[in-house]
Amino acid sequence: MKAIVLALTCLAGGAILAGCSHMPANPKDDSTFQYLLDRKSEWAENKVETLPPLPREQDLIAFDVSQNTPLHFAIDANSLTVQSDGVVRYTVVITSPSGARNINYEGIRCETYEWRLYAGLNAEHNGWDRTVANDWSRIENGELNAYHAALYQDYFCANKMPTGKAKMIVDNMRHHRTAASLIH
């Protein structure tokens, strides 16, 4: 009886809600049943073979991180991409009060709340340095300069997915439309 009810639930369009992914061969043995959300992801990251040009001042979009930080944060609008692997890639420019700049090409994976550094500005300030690249790391919320969390929560991601195509994210950033401001 349990297998019949489970089968009817799956067939009645409840597959998404019930998470049906496998019907047991033996109706009395449901030990092989597996929820879709419990499955291991078969995610593969797209290769990042080419890097965007270094940012130009007129293409930078400032965004807020914290009232407690003296640093200024901006994204290069021309570098922002949303790709088929669910990663939002972008160039970030971090400027200190003295004018010193840190420029990185990074990615945020919405599904797992992680970020990754692909390259940073080289010592000559005329190109990218890939030797600084790192692997995926969990985004930290509590840091004073937690700009990854601000980007993830305010502009890039919702429900573990990118909030839209690159153009939409850039438009939202230009008009300071954060996720919280879009809730009516």
Q: What is the pLDDT of residues 23-62, one digit of tens each?
A: 555 555 555 666 655 656 688 999 999 999 999 999 999 9
Tell me, yes or no, whether 122 lies in a domain: yes
Answer yes or no: is pLDDT of 100 > 90. Answer: yes
Are 8 and 89 within one domain? no
Task: Tell whether 28 and 79 lie within a shared domain.
Answer: no
- Is 51 a domain residue? no
69 in the same domain as 15:
no
**Which whole number is the average pLDDT over 57-81?**
94
Please report whether residue 148 resides in a domain.
Answer: yes
Same domain, 149 and 72: yes
pLDDT at 27: 55
More confident residue, 45 or 18: 45
Residue 172 burial by Cβ neighbours in a 10 Å radius (0-12, 13-18, 19+): buried
Q: 22 is in which domain, residue-wise? A: 2-38
The answer on pLDDT for 8 being more than 60 is no
Using the predicted structure, report yes or no on whether residue 82 has a pLDDT greater than 70: yes
Q: In this predicted model, which residue has the larger pLDDT, 25 or 64?
A: 64
| Same domain as 68, residue 100 | yes
> Domain check: are 109 and 24 in the same one?
no
Write down the pTM of the prediction: 0.76
- 126 and 92, same structural domain? yes
* pLDDT above 80: residue 136: yes
Residues in Cβ contact with 176 at an 8 Å cutoff, skipping those fewer than 6 apart: none
Q: What is the pLDDT of residue 128?
A: 97
Looking at the domain assignment, is residue 176 inside a domain? yes
